[in-house]
Amino acid sequence: MLQDFLKEQDSSYELASQYLNPKLVQVMDILGFNQIYTQAQSCYLFTQDGKKYLDFHSGEGFQSLGHNHPRVKEVLKEALDSNLPDGTQIHFSSLSGLLAKRICQRLPDSLSAVFFTNSGTETVETALKFSRFASGRGRLLSCENGYHGLTYGALSVSSEDYFKKGFGPLLPDCDRVPFNDLEALERELQKKDVAAFIVEPVQGRALTLPDPSYFQEVARLCKKYGTFLIFDEIQTGLGRTGKWFALEHWDIEPDFVLIAKALSGGFMPVGAMITRREIYNRVVNTLDRCYVQHSTYGRNKLAMLAGLATLEVIETEKLVERAHEMGERLKVGMESLKQSFSLIKDVRGLGLMLGFELGEPKALKGKIEYKLIQKASKGLFPQLVVIPLHKDHQIISMASGHNDVIKLLPPLVIQEAEVDYFVNSLQSVLSNQSGPWNRVMKIALQTMKGSVSHAFQARA
């Protein structure tokens, strides 16, 4: 049956344009990302014509173990053949309890209560609900330039207006403070009406790092004023930053830790909110409140088994250590390029959550073209690097948002040879900028003329 369905692969983008998201199809077309991948293994994707692409994005960290990790795949096959019960809402299998236990064993002892979800944004929603009820307060605080998801609660505590335009009114009583600004945070917390402060350990949109003592002070202030601290580790958790959880970098104990993306090793939608038992019990405080928060697919057998297998792989293959080692190697390589190429303004990140920010060119012609590109579309400038990396070197990377940052999230199984290939390819792209400049300038001019549809039909 699978092969019957796959017969339609050649029409993938026609079907998507007709029945799904035609604008996204146009974006893929203009960037040259409209490939048809037929196989995927480890750090690579393979096309029908035999090309292989090195994945330095891993689905925003979803494919942390690389594509189709054999151990996780084996466990899921066994599960499908097992005829285990699933979807029975008046039932707890040992799988969910065991996965919850193994997650908690990697966290501070105070974090011992788990609620399973299907996605990062649902995990955020759950934490916001729990924090409001358990605190008896209504206001929610987050950071400028933060991102937590696109459902209404998560969107309300996210920052970028691009995602919010036309969707209001959003959740009331949601305010933001600048990241790394402790004085601004304390001004809000001392009002003693903030239920929770939700924050990313590393801001994913622009890869903004915290000041060395920031989170220790954040934890102290939240405790002082009775505000819950929600640590959004949906992208940083499970080895990505060279620690099992990013909170270990600062030795803090939040009231909530949120994970998703990497939890299933790239196979299943699954997330988890982990909190203190006393907080959980305040929300589910009577027998008739046992269903006040529920997720139909939240504890399904495939998700739970994928999570268990993923944790096992991370541990047995020492992927946390590898994330640290390969991250250092990658960072050193990019720092070396920064010394040679003024286009790289900054290199930053933790572990294998790394990125580099492009800066305004020094030459007058470059400055003029840079301003034109920025006027046409925020986030277009990084395509100077993203497009040729993909077209000429078969490397998948992504601009990080409406900024000049290219974020790198390679699978944690990456090897030295693949890190070196990326650095050498990036050097080649930076050394040969005439073609990419011409292409991005063409896109910018067409966008400003309103010829967006024509611009999106150009090929990389």
**Lowest mean per-residue pLDDT among 232-246, 347-361, 401-415, 423-437:** 423-437
Would you say residue 164 lies in a domain? yes
**Do residues 306 and 329 lie in contact, with contact meaning Cβ atoms separated by under 8 Å?**
no
Q: Which residues of 366-400 are buried (b: 16+ CB within 10 A; e: fewer)?
A: eeebbeebeebbebbbbbbbbbbbbbebbbbbbbb
Whether the predicted pLDDT of 452 surpasses 50: no
**Do residues 60 and 235 lie in contact, with contact meaning Cβ atoms separated by under 8 Å?**
yes
Q: 352: Cβ–Cβ under 8 A, 6 or more apart, which residues?
A: 240, 241, 242, 323, 326, 327, 330, 408, 409, 410, 412, 414
If you search the block for the tokens 């269903």, which residue do you land on? Answer: 291
Same domain, residue pair 166 and 226? yes
Q: Who has greater pLDDT, 229 or 458?
A: 229
Task: Give the H/E segment covering residue 177.
Answer: strand 174-177
Percent of residues, the chain, with pLDDT higher than 70 = 94
Same domain, residue pair 229 and 127? yes
Count of domains forming the chain: 2
* Cα dihedral across residues 252, 258, 260, 264: positive or negative: positive
Bridge partners of residue 399, in order along the sequence: 406
Local confidence band at 451 (pLDDT 50, 70, 90 cut-offs):
very low
Residue 177 dihedral angles phi and psi, to the nearest 5°: -130, 160
Q: Tell me the residue ranges of DSSP E strands in 42-80.
A: 44-47, 52-55
Q: What is the pLDDT of residue 58?
A: 96
Question: At 374, which CATH number?
Answer: 3.90.1150.10
Instruction: Out of 280, 299, 316, pick the residue that ends a domain.
Output: 316
Q: What is the pLDDT of residue 89?
A: 74
Tell me the pairing of strands 139-143 and 174-177.
Answer: parallel
Chain-wide mean pLDDT for the chain? 91
**Lowest mean per-residue pLDDT among 55-64, 289-298, 321-330:** 289-298
Local confidence band at 86 (pLDDT 50, 70, 90 cut-offs):
confident
Would you say residue 307 lies in a domain? yes
Same domain, residue pair 283 and 322? no
Distances (CA, A) of 155 to 53, 91, 135, 172: 33, 33, 21, 11
pTM assigned to the model: 0.94
Whether the predicted pLDDT of 212 surpasses 50: yes
Would you say residue 9 lies in a domain? no
Same domain, residue pair 220 and 81? yes
Q: pLDDT tens, 60-76?
A: 999 999 999 999 999 99
As given in the structure block, the two tokens for residue 218 are 């954040």
Q: 375: Cβ–Cβ under 8 A, 6 or more apart, which residues?
A: 444, 448
Q: Who has greater pLDDT, 262 or 447?
A: 262
DSSP structure class, residue 226: T
Question: At 271, which CATH number?
Answer: 3.40.640.10
The answer for 59, left when phi > 0, alpha when psi is -120 to 50, beta otherwise, is: left
Same domain, residue pair 281 and 182? yes
Would you say residue 61 lies in a domain? no
Same domain, residue pair 291 and 324? no
Q: What is the pLDDT of residue 400?
A: 84
Task: Give the H/E segment covering residue 59.
Answer: helix 58-61
Would you say residue 386 lies in a domain? yes
Local confidence band at 425 (pLDDT 50, 70, 90 cut-offs):
very high
Would you say residue 4 lies in a domain? no
Same domain, residue pair 250 and 336? no
If we measure between CA atoms, which residue out of 329, 457, 368, 401 comes closest to residue 145?
401
Whether the predicted pLDDT of 436 surpasses 80: no
Same domain, residue pair 76 and 165? yes
Range of the domain at 185: 71-316
Tell me the pairing of strands 228-232 and 256-259.
Answer: parallel
As given in the structure block, the two tokens for residue 348 are 């930053």
Q: pLDDT tens, 358-404?
A: 988 877 777 777 787 777 777 788 888 999 999 999 999 998 878 89
DSSP for 397-454, please give it: -EE-SSSSEEEE---TT--HHHHHHHHHHHHHHHH--HHHHHHHHHHHHHHHTT-HHH
Q: What is the CA radius of gyration of the chain?
A: 23
Would you say residue 460 lies in a domain? no
Would you say residue 58 lies in a domain? no
Whether the predicted pLDDT of 457 surpasses 80: no
Same domain, residue pair 410 and 292? no
Q: Who has greater pLDDT, 190 or 385?
A: 190
| Edge-to-edge strand ranges of the sheet holding 344-350 | 344-350, 353-358, 405-408, 398-399
Whether the predicted pLDDT of 445 surpasses 80: no
Whether the predicted pLDDT of 444 surpasses 80: no
Same domain, residue pair 45 and 82? no
Q: pLDDT tens, 220-229?
A: 999 999 999 9
Total residue count of the chain as it appears in this document: 460
Q: What is the pLDDT of residue 326?
A: 98
Same domain, residue pair 267 and 375? no
Q: What is the pLDDT of residue 460?
A: 28
Instruction: Out of 287, 316, 345, pick the residue that ends a domain.
Output: 316
Q: pLDDT tens, 258-271?
A: 999 999 999 999 99
Three-class secondary structure of residue 366 per DSSP: helix
**Lowest mean per-residue pLDDT among 341-350, 354-363, 397-406, 438-447:** 438-447
Local confidence band at 5 (pLDDT 50, 70, 90 cut-offs):
confident
Q: What is the pLDDT of residue 433?
A: 74
Instruction: Out of 289, 316, 343, pick the residue that ends a domain.
Output: 316
What is the distance between the alpha carbons of residues 442 and 386, in angstroms, rounded to a whole number?
16
Same domain, residue pair 33 and 98? no
